[in-house]
Chains A and B, each alone.
Chain A
């Protein structure tokens, strides 16, 4: 049953006092998938990951990771997983090679394994010219490559990445994702939490978390197809006024300005969203052009997490 599934959870819940940090999360992550956790800060991404690593005990529910029951078999799991923290957490006052050797020792690799794998990682991540350089003096992108090299040195079956790209430039992010796909192609399952839509779009599948609960999940395509809102775009000279009018409508979920256009999410229960918006705007003497638009992952995210209109609420 667990052959093709890396992570399976049932009603996984974690409470901190009265706060429910993770609320009945049901997850199925197939092997060799890059699975994304997309959600705002405090949505329970890190807490879920920590529970899946066996660092935090769930208040309720069950989790099976790589066929091991968590948290009971957490110690055995530790050898099979890799974990890359949001912050660079290797030793800045040790050199690249010293950091990797330390990790190799900690995972009890044999002498041959140690030599071969370190050489392999250095080449793969383009660090072979800097082996003696202290980690603290590396650039953001280099640090991140080193962190990934260290996290995968013991060839884990499952890799947890907690917002791994929050401190690097776009080019390094692109490179980083190339590495992730290489790993996935070799059979490694990757669970990655992120803020970035473009990263979420590259995942095989993802879950959108809000206030500790999964509010939507599936492949990016599925999520876009099943968005629980109509997406329309409006062009007009006075976007500020139109925006103000729209925000007063209860069935408008969100209004975002994109250059000269407004992107509007409208309640799914409205049948003819384009016509509805046109009529509403005409009533306030705004003659506008309204088109239907193809939903993006960002629209899915906004529709799923931002059911309240922030401006109207304020």
Chain B
């Protein structure tokens, strides 16, 4: 009873302090908003509307269809019609266009000859993203061969893109970004909150009162659980409203998965707080952990493409497991019950770090 009262007193104090700490409060809301907007809009590998010019020397029904189809993909916008390939090169060099479509005068005849390509794409290869986008276009032109050998020419694999048919990167990025934001803020906030208490001498006061270590830890952590859930809500809402990111699974599963990650990160923050001497050190340690999380978790680079060693490291990081869970729940509509290995990994991480944190925490008061 008294213990609960003390926990509540610490909790109330923590919330009061938080509401006055404008910087931290700004970070709670600001980090999710800025990151969502940045990652959702700016980091868009799904390139559309490249500026293109067409040099159609053939000028037949067939060639005009090709131009129209290219335009219809939305990958390119034809902004100019020129007469020669040389003019295309000029525009490309001057940066007026990203892609040049050259259709030679014997286009119709070339289409019959399967060993030759019928038309040419001139691409600004200095940007790899544009290059790969233009490849899409190359596939398209192939597809529009003449009627007769079409069966033969049909692609060996037809790619059916499940779960993100429009291939919008925001759909992939936003759910995983929730994990990135939680990892950054949750670890940092707890670590700093406790180190600050020690730095300012408050801990010296508290250890002389009847407050017990475990009460102090609970009182300090609980507000951040709610802050974490608040951030999740903010991210989900922004993702849905701004980027039309779907939630295929249940909302409950989204929150449960997030809760598992929050728990893992808070206990890590506690552990860091027992190791760091100053707020600055706590921040350094957080980033030491944050960087591999962001790079290896599968958020930025595909997990399968990483060397074995990196994969082992990634398996230790909570974010890796969360990225799998949340993509499963939000995009594939999977149930948490089917993601037990990842959930278990998060739980083990929480228990291990929490044990170390509690052990070290009582010592650090001595």
Which residues on A are within 8 Å of B, measured CB to CB?
53, 55-56, 75, 78-79, 81-83, 85, 87-94, 98, 102-103, 105-108
> Which of A90, A93, A98 interacts with B205 by CB under 8 Å?
A90
Q: Which of B2, B13, B210 contacts A78 (CB 8 A)?
A: B210
How far in angstroms is the closest Cβ of chain B from A111? 11
A55 & B17 in contact (Cβ 8 Å cutoff) = no
Quick check: B17 and A108 within 8 Å, CB to CB? Answer: no
Alpha-carbon separation in the docked complex, A107 to B205 (Å):
13
Q: Size class of B's contact patch?
A: 20 to 34
Query: Is the CB–CB distance between A105 and B6 below 8 Å?
Result: yes
Q: Output the least CB separation between A79 and chain B (Å).
A: 6
A-B contact count (CB 8 A): 64
Q: Which chain A residues lie closer than 8 Å to B205 at the CB level?
A: 83, 85, 89-90
- 23 A–B contacts from the bound complex (CB under 8 Å): A55-B207, A55-B208, A55-B366, A56-B366, A78-B208, A83-B208, A85-B201, A85-B205, A88-B201, A89-B205, A90-B202, A93-B16, A93-B17, A93-B21, A94-B16, A98-B13, A103-B209, A105-B6, A105-B8, A106-B6, A106-B10, A106-B206, A108-B5
B214: CB under 8 A from chain A? Answer: no
Chain A residues positioned under 8 Å from B17 (CB to CB)? 91, 93-94
For the complex, what is the distance from the CA of A56 to the CA of B207, rounded to whole Å? 11
B211 lies within 8 A of A106 (CB): yes
Residue interface bits B1-31, CB-to-A below 8 A is 1, else 0: 0100110111011001100110000000000
A55–B210 Cα distance when bound, in Å, is 12
Distance between B66 CB and nearest chain A CB, rounded to angstroms: 68
Given contacts A53-B208, A55-B365, A79-B210, contact A105 B5 (CB under 8 A): yes
**In contact, B201 and A81 (Cβ under 8 angstroms):** no
Q: Among the listed B8, B13, B21, B210, which residue makes an inter-chain contact with A107, where contact means beta carbons less than 8 Å apart?
A: B210
B363 interface hit (Cβ, 8 Å):
no
Interface residues of A, dominant DSSP = loop
Known A91-B17, A105-B12; 17 more pairs at CB < 8 Å: A53-B208, A55-B207, A55-B366, A75-B210, A78-B208, A78-B209, A81-B208, A87-B201, A88-B201, A91-B13, A93-B20, A94-B16, A102-B12, A102-B13, A106-B10, A107-B209, A108-B2
B 174-232 contacts with A by CB, 8 A? 200-202, 204-211
The DSSP consensus for interface residues of chain B is helix
Closest to B19 in A: A93
Q: Which residues of B contact A85 (CB under 8 A)?
A: 201, 204-205
Among B2, B207, B208, B211, max chain A CB count under 10 A is at: B208
Question: How far does the Cβ of B297 sit from chain A's closest Cβ, in whole Å?
Answer: 35
Residues on A with beta carbons closer than 8 Å to the beta carbon of B10: 106
Q: Which residue of B lies closest to A82 (CB)?
A: B208
A contact residues around B21 at 8 Å (CB):
93
The complex places the Cα of A107 from the Cα of B210 at a distance, in Å, of 7
B37 CB to closest chain A CB, in angstroms? Answer: 31
- Taking CB atoms, residues of chain B closer than 8 Å to A56 are 366
Tell me the bound Cα distance from A79 to B20 in angstroms.
Answer: 30
Residue of B nearest to A75 (CB): B210
Chain A nearest CB from B351 CB (Å) reads 27
Q: Which residues of B contact A106 (CB under 8 A)?
A: 6, 9-10, 206, 209-211
Q: Give the Cβ gap from A224 to chain B, nearest Cβ, in Å.
A: 34
A75 to B12, CA, bound (A): 24
Is there contact, CB below 8 Å, between B202 and A89? Answer: yes
Residues on the A chain within 8 Å of B6, using CB? 105-106, 108
Please, which residues of chain B bring their CB within 8 A of the CB of A88? 201
Question: Taking A56-B366, A87-B204, A105-B6 as contacts, is the C-beta distance between A94 and B13 under 8 angstroms?
Answer: yes
* Closest CB in chain A relative to B11 CB, distance in Å: 10
- Chain B residue at minimum C-beta to C-beta distance from A147: B205
User: Which residues in B have their C-beta under 8 angstroms from that of A107?
Assistant: 209-210
Q: For the complex, give the distance between the alpha carbons of A75 and B213 in Å.
A: 12
Q: Which chain B positions have C-beta within 8 A of A87?
A: 201, 204
